[in-house]
Amino acid sequence: MRWSEFSEKECVDLVNGEKLGNFSRADLTFHPHTGKIESILIPVSASWFKKNTHKVELSWKMIKKVGPEMIIVNTAFKHGSDQD
């Protein structure tokens, strides 16, 4: 899947069903030696005027399902854990 297709999808948290936003303005972090994606940084605004914007970091391993319109992530999954 190309990033242009991925970025159009809505991100939803499996734990509480909350919409985290979409990936259109997200930043990616890469492993310096392998070049693999490590995490996605999604900007989240706390107000309509986008004054209070912060970024939510999602590990690539948190992604559980990519559907036609949304991506399901499990925010309960921690970086160093071996659970799926």
- 61: helix, strand or coil: helix
Tens of pLDDT along the chain (84 residues)? 888 888 888 889 999 998 888 888 889 999 999 999 999 998 876 656 656 677 888 998 999 999 999 999 998 866 444 444
The pairing of strands 19-22 and 27-30 is unpaired
Instruction: Identify residue 7 by its one-letter amino acid code.
Output: S
Domain 3-73 belongs to what topology? SH3 type barrels. (2.30.30)
pTM: 0.71
